[in-house]
Amino acid sequence: MNANPLPGVPLVESPFFEELLATADLPAETQRIARDLHRDGFAVFDFPEPDFTNLAGQIIDQLGPSMAIDAFRAGGANGLRLQDAWQQCAAVRSLAANKAVKALLGDLYGRPAFPFQTLNFPFGSQQHAHTDSVHFSAMPERFMCGVWVALEDIHPDAGPLIYYPGSHRLPIYVNEHIGHCAATAPSRANQADFAPLWRALIHTHRLEQVEFTPRRGQALIWAANLLHGGSDHRDRNRTRWSQVTHYFFEDCAYYTPLESDPAFGRIFFRNVTDIATGQPVPNRYLGHDVPADYIEATKRPPAATLPEDFDAQLYLLANPDVAAAGVDAGEHYLVHGSRENRPLRPG
């Protein structure tokens, strides 16, 4: 094959995968990872960081005191996680911006990768199976992936990550496919709207659940459309420290399908920052910047009133950049937060 007929499809997702891989001149281990990711939608590898043990310890020591660990062990505070801790923890940022991982992803997807979000977990998420495609998507689609890495050895009773091999090959389903119009909905869109679909897909296609119980330093790349989640955390005395870094790829437009109805004139374009550089990444389409006036025109209108369950303190905890700016929480939400789909409380 002299040229790639589908440059707008990631190498590992391409129908021409075998021909493209044969001419890519990649190291044997990269080829192994590419084949696993193409076939299963995920690939396991050893995180390429010589100082990993030290960085993992720094993350646990720095983030642990701010997490409601005792409350979780007492039976409450489910779903503990800290989003974008790279802004306050150098070790989180170091793992997210690892140059070898970025280079690997670039080889696998066919264009340069950059990290744009981190999530740190002290325990299993216990989330139902879902795909990242409803939250993080790109034009062209599928140019997004997640890298999950164990910061400690993971026990089967500590709520391991779960995934469904091969589920990434299913079509990407968005609002129009489930009959939901986010633009006219009375409340914010929620991934729970897609949960019945995901359960039905697992049942109909007889998808088999697999648990990931790695040792410290083992990592897993997953494709944007892979169904994954967290199993029950059966022993709350055990932690399951881990970090997820989400990556986009250059020369794409970045948006949230969950909050978008393109035919209704609404596209939730994301304001994306490259964690490695701290610089914003422009939304681009086929080598051209997406016009700023178009992005502005497709935004959701600002909220007219605060949600009934709005709590200023929780809003500031969920949005540390707003707290650091010293602005009024309610005013920020009405003018900016509602349009930016800001979380109302910590995840």
Over residues 114-131, the pLDDT tens digits come to 999 999 999 888 888 999
Q: Is the pLDDT of residue 329 over 90?
A: no
Burial environment of residue 264 by CB neighbours within 10 A (0 to 12, 13 to 18, 19 or more): middle
The answer to whether 144 touches 111, Cβ cutoff 8 Å, is no
Listed residue (347, 131, 115) closest to 248, CA to CA: 115
End-to-end Cα, the chain, rounded Å: 47
pLDDT in tens, 253-269: 999 999 999 998 999 99
Look up residue 139 and give its two tokens: 């034009």
* Per-domain residue ranges of the chain: 11-300, 304-347
Does position 169 have pLDDT exceeding 80, yes or no?
yes
Mean pLDDT value across residues 318-327: 82
Contacts of 124 (CB under 8 A, 6+ apart): 158, 159, 160, 161, 230, 231, 232, 233, 240
Q: What is the third-level CATH fold of 11-300? A: Jelly Rolls (2.60.120)
Q: Flag the least confident range among 61-70, 73-82, 145-154, 211-220.
A: 73-82
pTM of the full structure = 0.88
Average pLDDT over residues 151-174: 95
